[in-house]
Structure 1
Amino acid sequence: MRAALPVCIEVSQDYWPKAKYAIRMLLEPLGLGPIFKLRSELGSHGLYYGQNPAGLPSTIIVLQLARNAEGFYDDFTAIDMTSVRWRKHADYHFPVLFSSENADDLVASAFYWLSGWQEFTVQARDQHGRFPHNASLQAILEVTRLPVVDFYRTLLRARLEGAGIKTDLRKWAGRDWAFCPTIDVDYLRHWRIGMILREKVEYFLLNRRKVGVRERWRRLFKFTHSYFSRGDAFKIALRNMYQAIRAYGNATIFLKAAAHGPNDVSYQLDQPFLRELLVDLTSDGFEIGLHPSYHAHTHIAYVCGERRALTEVTGTDPLSVRQHFLRYEPTITPHIQEAVGFRIDSSLGFAECAGFRNGTCMPFLRFDPAGNRVMDIWEMPLLFMDGALFNRQKYGPAEAIQESIELLKLCQMFGGVAVGLWHNVIGEELDYPGWGEHFEKTLRWGGSNGAYIASLQDVLSAWTGYPLGN
């Protein structure tokens, strides 16, 4: 139950929805629900956001509007780096993007990160059409590993409690923080024809890896052993991951329902292995989400058809979605997701590295800058992905585990949620050495440190206090 907090916003008409959204997202994790009022209705306690607090009771908390904030959001322009101010909390330094002469504008600063404003202003995209980390403000300011919005909230909380307004951090099914293991099932068959040719021709005969003769024979032997072993490595991995997670709670499994290009590998949703596994997953409360095909992030017809196909197999409309390759075009993708009927997305993490793409470890509603409105879809921010840790950041198992746990500690510190992404490849040490160890030890750390471990849907429902189910 949220405690009501009167809030008066005095800003321009166009900026008002943005300020309202940012204030709501800042207050909700504190157990406070803003009730927006006119100045004359504010009373003796509450929040004021604007530039003219004169005449308000001294008990009102004033959040100063920076002079350049409204004008900045009139157009999609880049942040003026000279306006960034650095603040310190505990041992952390974090940036505030908008400030007035006497105070920081936490509202305008929070809106920038939560709305993904930079992704509308930066035109750079990588080879898969994704917003690149190296073009982000996080990379420029070197704060990728900091949930800066959550630091803003900490400052706001101190002011609220200093004014006698009680805050109560929302719980996760009675726990102080949450951890959502998720699995993207890109493949259900390991040794496909292309992979076999890679091993025999590219790696062994042509030596594309440029290794010595002994290493070529060693790999060929391991490939042969794996190929003739009973059962498919990726199917075995998926079942083993399910068994490991169920010891702590449940999770979200993202399944593909179609292939529309070379970056998609098709598999049948009605195959006996999946049908049997789905029975077990459902009985243990696991959530099944959709992992749309490679081009679906800009094609609503693909998403509609794929969601329908998954529903036919599971009997339930999936509420959670994660885009394949984390492809996410902010002017298109969230509108498709909302229109089709998804309630939760968990695509917004960086493809190249772990960290906080929207500056927070809290769930937040998406905002549509073009329509100047709050969207009806929650973002469960993606914290880390196995492929980014091992393939892009080039970590070994020990480094990947350490990086993941350090980020989990930040989520724990703020009472937030950590979303981890793994693929069903654990145990396949030929191509994915150490990935299984990372999965097992990271999951164990979360379970040993008080996290509520559950699916995206269960975790978000526990936090909001109302069910998101069909």
Structure 2
Amino acid sequence: MLSERLNTNRIAYVLFHLSQHFECDSDLRLCFFDSDNPTSRSFYYLAIDGKLVELPVMSSDPCIYFPLTANKADYVTRVEHKGRNIPVLFPLHEDICIYEFDENSNLIFRHDLLKAAFLILSGYQETLGDETDVHGRYRYEDSLQKQLNITTIPVVNYYFDLIVEGLSGFCQKHGIGFRRKRLFENFGFLLSHDVDRIAFYHPREVAFKLKQLLGMAPLYYSKSDTLKLFFKGILYNINPLHGEDPWWNFGMMTELEKKLGLRSSFYFLEKNNGHFDSRYTFRTARIRRLINRLNEEGFETGLHGSYNSAFSKEALCEELNSFTNNTGIKPVGIRQHFLRLRYPDTLLYQEELGFEYDTSLAFAEHEGFRNGYCYPFRPYDFDKDRMAMIWEFPLMLMEVSILGEGYRNLPYTEIGNCAMTLIDEVRKFGGFFSMLWHNCRLDESLYPGITNYYRTLLEDIIKLQPEALTGKDLLNIIKEE
């Protein structure tokens, strides 16, 4: 896997993200050398502004040496860091020493951490094969994260922390001012909601319950409960004033968040001729009113790209235009429905259409860090061998991953444990924790007590004193960096 040495563009990509974690008062002189031929060297400056500038001639200035290897990740060594056993994917020595200083106080890294960081962060592994799940998604089963048991560890942050530790020592030895950087003093909390379904008693939902009763579809509830819900749906459609639909719960959700000092991001999904998509369009009057109210109250509204739009720039463009034309709002953020995308093509479609961030990258089957990083990052365009300009705000926890049949299928009481495990990791690095909770998953019929549990979970997270933010807020923060 990744059996060539990193070229300059890929090195620059890693260093761009590394620069999110430190700043210093002087340019740093870097040397990249072939691990199989140490005399083959190229020299660069890492400028204060994070740009990588080639040096035409060698000098005697103090230098930082990074080895570049053509080895595959056939085996790993491991190092203890910040209480975790971290795999080093491209080890060049049997010992676990990460770096050393020579007699002239040059800093020499002993393993190819740049390549290890690039492999995970760029999503390179997702470009290697055509195997996908039934929804055309990269499979968690095929990932290095599962293979190495690091799904819930932001391993790229650990790599960067080890590199920054070495850089700090180098700068101290040479009298260069050096400061570590954190995106958040504690951690950021990005809460979001995908608005897939808004009508529990929609005629199609009632008809589906009839199919369940007839054995033509799998049961989600007991047969007696399904029968009750079927007749309740019939009555509701005869008399819509019978009561509020349990999936039209946005007032409850926003009042709870405002009480806790939160503002979240809502991503809206247009009906697009597919049974996987929503039952509403952006022309629907109450959807337009909801979107406008959310924006007026300081929440964010973005696009939830339809099932088919993941593989069709034209479909995505139509949905973006429909959202903007009907609401008067041009969304800056997007998440793809079913977390369905082809990496990196779907993200490049989004970039071309003017989206500034995506927040789709997660394993649908498991919570954690799909790209090993708890900071915003930019995807990599492998066809053009360049860093893309759109930002990715990785999704770390989706409640369906815990609850859903075909996923982990755990009790909803496990969601809090999973969240706290991820937050513990994120807080080490001042990163952000992102959680998705669908409005239609606050469903007391399916999960008795879920609403109170959700409220308690948010309260527990807020007690940890994160900086609460929307996707648009996070975008503004990184623009100011």
Q: Comparing 264-273 with 431-440, which one deviates more in the overlay?
A: 431-440
Map 1:208-357; keep pairs closer than 5 Å: 215-221=222-228, 224-225=231-232, 228=236, 229-236=242-249, 238-247=250-259, 248-357=261-370
Deviation at 1:398, TM superposition (A): 1.9
Selected match of 1:399 from 408, 411, 414: 414
Question: Identity across aligned pairs (percent)?
Answer: 26
- Per-residue CA deviation, residues 76-116 of structure 1 (Å, 9 max, x unaligned), is xxx5322x221111321111112333712211111111110
Deviation at 1:239, TM superposition (A): 2.7
1:80 equivalent in structure 2: 73
| 2:108 is the counterpart of 1:105 | no
Instruction: Label 1:201 to 1:332 Cα distance change in 2 as closer, same or farther (>3 A).
Output: closer
| 2:470 is the counterpart of 1:455 | yes
Selected match of 1:191 from 179, 190, 201: 201
2:458 equivalent in structure 1: 443
| 2:212 is the counterpart of 1:202 | yes
Instruction: Label 1:35 to 1:211 Cα distance change in 2 as closer, same or farther (>3 A).
Output: closer
Instruction: Label 1:408 to 1:54 Cα distance change in 2 as closer, same or farther (>3 A).
Output: same
- Per-residue CA deviation, residues 42-90 of structure 1 (Å, 9 max, x unaligned), is 599999999xx99754x4333x223326xxxxxxxxx5322x2211113
- Per-residue CA deviation, residues 388-413 of structure 1 (Å, 9 max, x unaligned), is 11111111122121111211221122
Selected match of 1:21 from 10, 13, 24: 13
Instruction: Label 1:32 to 1:260 Cα distance change in 2 as closer, same or farther (>3 A).
Output: farther
Selected match of 1:138 from 126, 134, 145: 145
Instruction: Label 1:463 to 1:168 Cα distance change in 2 as closer, same or farther (>3 A).
Output: farther
- Which letter maps to 2:91? S
Q: Distance in 1 between matches of 2:53 and 2:23?
A: 19
User: Structure 2, unaligned stretches of length 5 or more?
Assistant: 32-42, 94-108, 237-241
Instruction: Answer yes or no: is the 8 Å Cα contact 2:77–2:87 preserved in 1.
Output: yes
Instruction: Answer yes or no: is the 8 Å Cα contact 1:179–1:418 preserved in 2.
Output: yes
User: Structure 1, unaligned stretches of length 5 or more?
Assistant: 1-11, 70-78
Q: Distance in 1 between matches of 2:220 and 2:121?
A: 46
Give the TM-score taking structure 1 as reference length.
Answer: 0.84
Q: Distance in 2 between matches of 1:289 and 1:221?
A: 36
Instruction: Answer yes or no: is the 8 Å Cα contact 1:296–1:303 preserved in 2.
Output: yes
2:84 equivalent in structure 1: 92
What secondary structure is seen at the aligned counterpart in 1 of 2:247? helix
2:192 equivalent in structure 1: 182
| 2:22 is the counterpart of 1:30 | yes
Instruction: Answer yes or no: is the 8 Å Cα contact 1:179–1:454 preserved in 2.
Output: yes
What secondary structure is seen at the aligned counterpart in 2 of 1:199? helix
Instruction: Answer yes or no: is the 8 Å Cα contact 1:68–1:98 preserved in 2.
Output: no
Q: Distance in 1 between matches of 2:26 and 2:288?
A: 46
Deviation at 1:19, TM superposition (A): 0.3
Deviation at 1:373, TM superposition (A): 0.5
2:440 equivalent in structure 1: 425
Instruction: Answer yes or no: is the 8 Å Cα contact 2:28–2:46 preserved in 1.
Output: no
Q: Distance in 1 between matches of 2:60 and 2:467?
A: 42
1:72 equivalent in structure 2: none
What secondary structure is seen at the aligned counterpart in 2 of 1:181? strand
Map 1:355-394; keep pairs closer than 5 Å: 355-391=368-404, 392-394=407-409
Deviation at 1:426, TM superposition (A): 4.4
Across the two proteins, how many residue pairs are aligned to each other?
Answer: 435
1:126 equivalent in structure 2: 133
Instruction: Answer yes or no: is the 8 Å Cα contact 1:157–1:167 preserved in 2.
Output: no
| 2:182 is the counterpart of 1:170 | yes
- Per-residue CA deviation, residues 322-342 of structure 1 (Å, 9 max, x unaligned), is 111111101421221111111
What secondary structure is seen at the aligned counterpart in 2 of 1:108? helix
Give the TM-score taking structure 2 as reference length.
Answer: 0.82
- Per-residue CA deviation, residues 222-275 of structure 1 (Å, 9 max, x unaligned), is 554576451221112x33222222332311110123413221123032434323
Instruction: Label 1:436 to 1:56 Cα distance change in 2 as closer, same or farther (>3 A).
Output: farther
- Per-residue CA deviation, residues 131-161 of structure 1 (Å, 9 max, x unaligned), is 0000001111111111100111111222122
Instruction: Label 1:192 to 1:231 Cα distance change in 2 as closer, same or farther (>3 A).
Output: same
Q: Distance in 2 between matches of 1:186 and 1:33?
A: 49
- Which letter maps to 1:263? F
Q: Distance in 1 between matches of 2:433 and 2:309?
A: 26
Instruction: Answer yes or no: is the 8 Å Cα contact 1:405–1:442 preserved in 2.
Output: no
- Per-residue CA deviation, residues 183-219 of structure 1 (Å, 9 max, x unaligned), is 101112112333223334523x54976899xx53344
- Which letter maps to 2:63? I
Q: Distance in 1 between matches of 2:478 and 2:134?
A: 36
Instruction: Label 1:437 to 1:269 Cα distance change in 2 as closer, same or farther (>3 A).
Output: same
Instruction: Label 1:438 to 1:33 Cα distance change in 2 as closer, same or farther (>3 A).
Output: farther
Q: Comparing 278-287 with 425-434, which one deviates more in the overlay?
A: 425-434
Deviation at 1:350, TM superposition (A): 0.3
Q: Distance in 1 between matches of 2:216 and 2:135?
A: 28
Instruction: Label 1:208 to 1:450 Cα distance change in 2 as closer, same or farther (>3 A).
Output: same
- Per-residue CA deviation, residues 293-316 of structure 1 (Å, 9 max, x unaligned), is 111111111111110111123322
Q: Distance in 2 between matches of 1:202 and 1:43?
A: 62
What secondary structure is seen at the aligned counterpart in 2 of 1:309? helix
